[in-house]
Structure 1
Amino acid sequence: MRNTEKPQPRPVFEKLPKYSAGKPPVAVEGLTQYKLSSNENPLGPVDEVRQVLRDFDQTHRYPDSLATRLRTALGQQLGVDPEDIVTGAGSLGALTQILATFAGGNPDGSQDEVIYSWRSFEAYPICVGLAGAKSVQVPNNSDGSHNLAAMAEAITERTKVILVCTPNNPTGPAVTEAQVRDFLNKVPSRVLVVLDEAYFEFCQASEIEAGTQPPVNGLNVYPDYRNVVVLRTFSKAQGLAGLRVGYSISHPEITEHLRVGATPFAVSSLAEEAAIASIEHSDQVMQRVQHLVAERERVKTALEAQGWWIPDSKANFIWLATGEHTPAFSALAEENALSVRAFGTEGVRVSIGEDEANSRLIRMCEGFPHKAQRPE
């Protein structure tokens, strides 16, 4: 009789959370649908990138596995050595390479530890678990920001990597350079610290209140610390989410190992050409970013006037701490042909979308009876 046993995944899969991508909006008669659930750039890429997409005819050729032209263009734009750059399939692909290289399981059966703030990017626990390492989650401060002091206290002999998501997804606050440097001075040099700056361009376009410090620019920090990796992407500001192109920046003693662990041909030739065109027209990219930042502030100001508490987001989204009323808010958004990203009974992340979508959100929030207040 034939054996009916089935192949089984590794035991770790039973413990991993499921990644929940932003859902599209539900059709509502008479209303234009808007997707505000995935932190996408609703304006899309600049026209020159669209031209690249129309003209590209090299799909039958393998890409350059080192993305040499892209790294050269990035090096010139950012003022870094192209050899310090390692590309990946989005910043998530680049992060996966980092974790696979520096954290996992050990021959004696023990697990390396990866520290990160929580709630933060929901792919973190999945990536850490798949690498074979153990997640150490440190609760956010009440305003949604990182508790860096507590993260430093969580370091043990098993700690191999620390992830600092700035601005933090999904809550929005960013850390400053002074905060990062103070934190790094408490971290052993053997521990790799990843500054995940997927939304960095939105920090650049954000106005900084007098007397406050701007969000950190990882490129100002990594030259002084051999254990720092800066993580960035073309998915958000440049509107290339569907092409999957990101990169990390670090010192040669780190990049030499990351290149070994990198997935061959992770960045397609089309993605590389589109990214280069985005770099060449970065002024237009930033104009679009500035518009989205202005819309973010319009939404935030309007909701605060209605009585909502909104964390100080420096990204292209806002966080509504709706708690137990999160399902009701998500359902109301659905009735208004808006999709938002609900997190259980914690809160809702709302991406900044088209102007009309943002205006509809403001009107909808005014009538919602359970306006978010700052958690205790």
Structure 2
Amino acid sequence: MSSPPLRAVLETVASYKPSAGAHGSTARPRPLSANESPHTPLPGIVEAIAAAGSTVNRYPDPGCGALIRAIAKAHGVAEDRIAVGAGSVALLQTLFQAVADPGAEAVYAWPSFEVYPTLAALAGVESVQVPLSDDTHDLRAITSRISSRTRLVIVCNPNNPTGTVVGPEELRTFVESVPPTCLVAVDEAYHEYVRGPAATSALGLCAAHPNLVVLRTFSKAYGLAGLRTGYLVGDAQVVERLRRACLPFAVNTVAQQAAVAALGLEEQLLRRVDSTVAERHRVRDTLVRRGWEIPDSQANFVWLRLGPHAVDFGAWCASRDVTVRAFPGVGVRVSIGSAEDNDQFLAAADEWSSARQTAVAGAGRTRQAGKETEG
């Protein structure tokens, strides 16, 4: 039976596949694959969700008015410079669609957020992927790949999956070098976890650069991953046009009210972020002491340079009831969870290292025995 013709790109575009669930014992899997907050919602957020639930027979506010006012107050920017979407990924989709004239290109580092290539392909935009340098954005190389066809450049900062950052001065110089006809999107989904001099947001550059937009999310530091809410800040004229491309009623009432409540409880939520950052340091320092190569992550995850062993390590962790995110042939991203979750991951990593050392030693003995036999 023939099927209706659909776009040819749907035959080749990669669909998002969550990490395989843990298997082995009947213990609760340790969820360290999706960069979620390990903390349950604060009581004030739960109350806002419950109150909003009683109104779901009505459509949500299509303009997200209360939420936009709260975001504008939090960042000290005008309301007309903010667009809200069903997670920052929905706003990324809007950006790709908004620049998708025939022949348009989008330039971004790779590996980076794994959905970028899919969004580009679905919008009909050609991806130009620029390899990372030492797990970090090579902004000079990205600049060199910008052409007359480039309509969008994305800088994921901190980068997902490596957790590395580019500093504020380096980013400012880069933004200044991009032609004003090209849109620059700085994806700051993990900004709240950044510490030190690199903690300066690109939001401060928006006023001087109308071609710059900055994306944020409530899914990570604010702990609302299940409600899908994100926002974008940029030039008012750009934002006004982007709002036209956003799907009406995309951000539901419960999500809007929960996000408003989260902004009102920001101080408490950011203390939770501090605890995650402390755990990030502990996990990374422990792994480095034990011989692992781990970049200096500024996100709520760490990156293991495992190359061809990435998939095997992911399966190893799953067999020990820990789910991690394996990128075949490249590495493994491990979210920072509760202390107990992290300890179980560290134990699995230790077992892996011991098993690898035993296997290597055994192979060496086999080769030596073979040489002696030949001799």
TM-score normalised by structure 1 residue count: 0.91
Tell me what 2:28 maps to.
32
Quick check: 1:274 aligned with 2:258?
Answer: yes
Measure, in 1, the Cα distance between the counterparts of 2:352 and 2:21.
22
- Which structure shows the higher helix fraction? 2
**Aligned partners of 1:15 and 1:116: how far apart in 2?**
20
Call closer, same or farther: CA 1:133–1:42 in 2, change over 3 Å: same
The secondary structure found in structure 1 opposite 2:77 is coil
**2:372 aligns to what?**
none
- Residue 174 (structure 1) aligns with: 165
Report the Cα offset of residue 253 of structure 1. Answer: 1.7
SS of the aligned residue for 1:28 comes to coil
Question: C-alpha displacement at 1:156, in angstroms?
Answer: 0.6
**Residue in 2 that maps onto 1:15:** 12
Cα RMSD between the aligned structures? 1.4
- Deviations for 1:28-50, whole angstroms, at most 9, x for unmatched residues? 14x33211111111113222111
Structure 1 residue ranges without an equivalent (≥5): 372-376
Q: Write the distance in 2 (CA, Å) between the matches of 1:286 and 1:259.
A: 29
Shift of 1:244: 0.8
Q: Offset at 1:220? A: 1.2
The answer (yes or no) to whether the contact 2:22–2:319 under 8 Å persists in 1 is no
Contact 2:193 2:273 in 1 (8 A): yes
CA offsets 1:138-176 (integer angstroms, 9 cap, x no match) = 00012x110100000001110000000000000100111
Q: CA deviation at 1:329?
A: 1.0
Match of 1:93 among 71, 85, 90: 90
**Which one is further off, 351-360 or 115-124?**
351-360
Once the two structures are superposed, the pairs formed by residues 268-307 of structure 1 within 5 Å of their partners are 268-307=252-291
CA distance, structure 2, for counterparts of residue 368 and residue 245 of structure 1: 37
TM-superposed CA distance for 1:27, in Å, is 5.2
Separation in structure 1 between the aligned mates of residue 319 and residue 21 of structure 2, nearest angstrom: 13
Alignment of 1:224-235 (within 5 A): 224-235=208-219
Deviations 1:332-352 (A, max 9, x none): 201210000111121100001
Alignment partner, residue 37 of structure 2 = 41
Tell me the secondary structure at the aligned position of residue 119 of structure 2. helix
Distance in 2 separating the partners of 1:182 and 1:231: 19
Q: Which whole-Å CA distance do the structure 1 matches of 2:318 and 2:151 have between them? A: 42
Residue in structure 2 matching 1:53, options 36, 49, 52: 49
**1:179-218: CA deviations, max 9, x gaps?**
1111112210100000000011111xx3x2xxxx324402
Q: Specify the code of the residue in structure 1 equivalent to 2:130.
A: V
Q: Is the 8 A contact 2:206 2:213 kept in 1?
A: yes
* Aligned mates of 2:38, 2:156 — CA distance in 1: 23
Q: Which runs of 5+ in 2 are unaligned?
A: 358-375
Matched residues in 2 for 1:217 and 1:236: separation?
16
Mapped contact 1:27–1:33 kept (Cα < 8 A): no
User: For residues 324-370 of structure 1, what are the alpha-carbon distances to aligned partners after superposition, in whole Å with 9 as ceiling and x for unaligned?
Assistant: 11122112201210000111121100001121010111122223235
Q: Is the 8 A contact 1:35 1:353 kept in 2?
A: yes
Which has the higher Rg, Structure 1 or Structure 2? 2
Choose the corresponding residue for 1:122, options 114, 117, 133.
Answer: 114
Q: 2:150 aligns with which of 136, 154, 159?
A: 159
Cα distance in 1, alignment partners of residues 111 and 303 from structure 2: 12
Q: Secondary structure at the match of 1:368?
A: helix
Q: 8 Å contact 2:20–2:318 — kept in the other structure?
A: no
Query: 1:188 aligned to 170, 179, 186, which one?
Result: 179
The answer as to whether partners of 2:59 and 2:249 remain within 8 angstroms in 1 is yes
Deviation at 1:68, TM superposition (A): 0.6
Q: Tell me what 1:80 maps to.
A: 77
Q: Distance in 2 between matches of 1:367 and 1:245?
A: 38
- Structure 1 Cα separation of the partners of residues 235 and 116 of structure 2: 23
Q: Distance in 1 between matches of 2:198 and 2:178?
A: 22
- Given residue 245 of structure 1, which amino acid in structure 2 is its aligned partner? T
The equivalent residue for 1:374 is: none
Q: Distance in 2 between matches of 1:317 and 1:61?
A: 38
SS at match of 1:185: helix
Q: Could you tell me how far apart the structure 2 residues matched to 1:220 and 1:105 are?
A: 29
**CA deviation after TM superposition for structure 1 residue 105, in Å:** 4.0
Mapped partners of 1:216, 1:344: distance in 2: 33
Cα deviation 1:74-118 (Å, max 9, x = unaligned): 11111111110000010001111111112x242xxxx20000000
**Cα deviations across residues 224-244 of structure 1 (Å, max 9, x unaligned)?**
111000001100111111111
Partner of 1:353: 337
CA contact (8 A) 2:80 2:240 kept: no
In structure 2, the partner of 1:259 is 243
The CA distance in 1 between the partners of 2:43 and 2:172, in whole Å, is 39
Kindly, what percent of the aligned residue pairs are identical? 38
- Assess if the C-alpha contact under 8 Å between 1:100 and 1:131 holds in 2: yes
Question: Aligned partners of 2:16, 2:158: CA distance in 1, in Å?
Answer: 20
